[in-house]
Chain A
Amino acid sequence: MRNPGGHVRITSPDGIREADSFTCRHCGAIRIVRAKERPENLGGLCRLCMGLVCPACVALARCDPLERKLERAEAAYEARRSYGMI
């Protein structure tokens, strides 16, 4: 694939198999792209954040990038810490 997000290699007695991968922009999951796999089976392109997303996130039909999720988790942690709850 063009501009892969990663590379997978499985080394076995039968030889070496390699594939590209991408990381879902919404949930952070790694999706392995097999050779000649149909693009519609891989997930999709979010037109809001312009990132590749996995099939599970395509099914949610909303843009909630991983970066925003991390920021929310960190803000909640900082709030609990500032209140002395941690």
Chain B
Amino acid sequence: MAVYNTSNDLGGTQQNLSTSYKTIVSVLAGAVPRRGFISDIIIGADGTPADNALVFTVMRQTADDGTKTNVTPLPVDPADPAFTGLSRANFTAEGTITATSNLLSLAINQRATFEWASAPGSSLVYPATANAGLVVRAKSPTYASTVIARLEVEE
């Protein structure tokens, strides 16, 4: 399997957080669907450092909707073919999120960076059905600036 990196820093304008969830970045199966495996997540704030609470969650998405910027995941090995799925970032209107699909939920200080790396066979998986995938969302009760989320996806 080839490994790709995607992030909301790859395109579009980063959106400020608010008290309701905002999707930061997503990966979805494309028109010729293949399963995707998220093996690495890094998230953190890139606004002026201060002490605020940030809440992140990883959830499932079932449609390529919402208002967002299309980004192109980059292969870790330049010899690998292009990513066949889809990646979206910097949502200004939320897409269709499966409400009961909370795969990871955490609250961290704005000054902190969170990293998760899976062991082989323990990745987050989305099915090989078109426009189904996983999203990273964030919100904050007080922080009204931007965050960066980076995903490593295998397909």
Contact = CB atoms under 8 A, between A and B. Distances in A.
Contact of A6 (B33, B35, B117): B117
Given A73-B129, A77-B130, A9 B115 contact: yes
Interface of B: 33, 35, 58, 102-104, 106, 108-109, 111-119, 121-125, 127-130, 132
A28 B124 contact: yes
22 contacts: A5-B121, A6-B116, A6-B118, A7-B117, A10-B108, A10-B113, A10-B115, A11-B113, A11-B115, A12-B109, A12-B111, A12-B113, A23-B118, A23-B124, A30-B104, A70-B125, A70-B127, A73-B127, A73-B129, A73-B132, A74-B127, A86-B130
Interface of A: 3-13, 21-23, 27-30, 32, 66, 70, 73-74, 76-77, 86
A77 B33 contact: yes
Contact of B103 (A3, A10, A28): A28
